[in-house]
Structure 1
């Protein structure tokens, strides 16, 4: 029996219960490996202002998040919580990339389901680490900037690929090495280990975004560098500024031209 990829992905995307959501991601991957999906497009593709998520954490504007030093257990846990929140959002981002753009080649869906699976694994690792620090996901407030950007780019797969993996997620490549240093300084060996796994996998996720961004540029006879700059100018709220992790970005498929441009910012 075959399952409709888009219907099942939408169901998972809208699931608010954490454990059920993770199980459904596993199920999607399982069906994919068994080649059990049919790809009949949805009758209507719905916009999703708010994906399925638990009632906690409370979502606030980024400027309203309290600043905490890493010196206290609470500050340490708050940092881990903010990373858990990003990874949880990233599961929904990957699922939305599958559901929303229903006219892509089959490999596109395999790539983004794979990303959803890795983000789910990351989230569960951090959640467990948070638990060892005496906290749960939802104990601190968090911001919802990531999903807002996803919602604003739901009209165009090219804009989405440029903005979510190549701009927002690529920020993770830039900031993670400094976070690894901070955790190392306070002796959090497990935290360091987790962030190293995240950094390695996120390079792969940005590379998936890069590959499909280039594919879409090619389909539309657009210059990838000009398009990337145009999308960042139009849709990115805030300044794109360094320090940039040029080595990781190169590994994730950023061109020499793009890296030269980032160096001027």
Structure 2
């Protein structure tokens, strides 16, 4: 591991340094080391020495970014198809690292308790772990992150909610991460069908951790709504309609969502298709 100590001026400073890094090993090291030091209570929340927050996260030259509709779909029954899926997951997890860190860095001056940052640094730590796991699996299969194109929709959602914490929580953990709870079990099953038990095991780790990430989002979304005396479900629907481009697609994993604090009253009215 490279020395990251000199780049971590505070929790916010460490988060910003990680976001800005185009070296993905260094990005994940900075994210995890900032989390460790924050949990050990050896970091202040912010410092006058913190670097400026970037509009976009640091990235290597590859992968090429293309619109989601241009992403090629492949069968998971081929090695190329499994590599393509893992590459897409690696891209999602990498963006999730930066999204969790951006919540910490962007809203560090907001009126929220320190336990808010505990939750999001745990998310950032685990997202960094996920990216490393998936990238290592890609390398075992003779590929690497950056070999295939990827899409930029995830960071666009962050940019759209950069001035509103409640909207950010509605869109990122409660829409984008919650979608992972819907689709991952089927992907796990398909990986097992192909005999790729190693990749299925990685998806299992991600799935169980993501329940906790959605729960962090739901907890603080409800906290902010209660403080502002707003109905959580109605506020969620208003913010999603105003800030999210796209539609919610059934079927939903209602049980996993409810375990994370996201009940059907939040999202059912946002889709024209009901599922049992």
TM category (shorter chain) comes to: over 0.9
1:52-88, Cα deviation, whole Å (9 max, x unpaired) = 1221111110011122222321111011100111011
Out of 232, 237, 240, the residue aligned to residue 248 of structure 2 is 240
Contact 1:45–1:100 (CA under 8 A) maintained in structure 2? no
Q: How does 1:1-265 map to 2 (within 5 A)?
A: 3-40=9-46, 48-102=54-108, 103=110, 104-255=112-263, 257-258=265-266, 261=269, 265=273
What is the alpha-carbon distance in structure 2 between the residues aligned to residue 43 and residue 161 of structure 1?
A: 28
Contact 1:58–1:138 (CA under 8 A) maintained in structure 2? yes
The 3 A distance-change label for structure 1 pair 161 and 53 is same
What is the alpha-carbon distance in structure 1 between the residues aligned to residue 121 and residue 264 of structure 2?
A: 29
Contact 1:210–1:252 (CA under 8 A) maintained in structure 2? yes
1:138-177, Cα deviation, whole Å (9 max, x unpaired) = 0000001000000110110000001100001110000101
Contact 1:81–1:130 (CA under 8 A) maintained in structure 2? yes
How far 1:43 moved relative to its partner? 9.2
Which consecutive unaligned segments of at least 5 residues does structure 2 have? none
Contact 1:47–1:154 (CA under 8 A) maintained in structure 2? no
What is the alpha-carbon distance in structure 2 between the residues aligned to residue 184 and residue 209 of structure 1?
A: 30
The 3 A distance-change label for structure 1 pair 59 and 233 is same
The 3 A distance-change label for structure 1 pair 71 and 201 is same
Aligned residues: 265
**Secondary structure at the counterpart of residue 176 of structure 2:** helix
What is the alpha-carbon distance in structure 2 between the residues aligned to residue 133 and residue 97 of structure 1?
A: 34
**Secondary structure at the counterpart of residue 237 of structure 2:** helix
The 3 A distance-change label for structure 1 pair 164 and 41 is farther
